């Protein structure tokens, strides 16, 4: 029995990580925005929108790194000859 990971399993693990990152980081941005709005900005709505957008943007950037690691600056993948 081989220990290879099926491509569907690999893809589902990536999607699970992306969705959980999105929920956590957007939720953190939302909560930071609510606290900042209540404490610092006299209950205005723009801190909520900006911090939620920031959380979404960070989650999106992480998703890009997860699905396309070769687009990350400074990362280099070297091809090796297959061994039999």
Has residue 52 been placed in a domain? yes
Q: What pLDDT shows up at residue 82?
A: 75
d(CA 58, CA 48): 15
| Contact (Cβ atoms closer than 8 angstroms) between residue 61 and residue 71 | no
Q: Tell me the average pLDDT across 14-38.
A: 94
**Around Cβ 45, how many Cβ atoms within 10 Å?**
11
Q: Tell me the average pLDDT across 11-22.
A: 93
> pLDDT digits over 30-79, tens only?
999 999 999 988 888 899 999 999 999 999 999 998 888 777 777 777 78
Looking at the 3D structure of the chain, how many domains does it have? 1
Domain containing 46 equals: 5-67
CB neighbour list of residue 57: distance below 8 Å, 6 or more residues apart? none
| Contact (Cβ atoms closer than 8 angstroms) between residue 82 and residue 33 | no
Has residue 36 been placed in a domain? yes
Has residue 84 been placed in a domain? no
């Amino acid at each position: 029995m081989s220990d290879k990971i099926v491509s569907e399993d690999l893809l589902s693990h990536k999607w699970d990580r992306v969705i959980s990152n999105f929920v956590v980081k957007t939720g953190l941005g939302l909560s930071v925005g609510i606290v900042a709005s209540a404490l610092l900005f006299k209950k205005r709505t723009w801190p909520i929108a900006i911090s939620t957008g920031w959380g979404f943007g960070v989650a999106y950037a992480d998703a890009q790194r997860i699905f396309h690691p070769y687009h990350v600056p400074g990362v280099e993948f070297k091809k090796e000859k297959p061994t039999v």
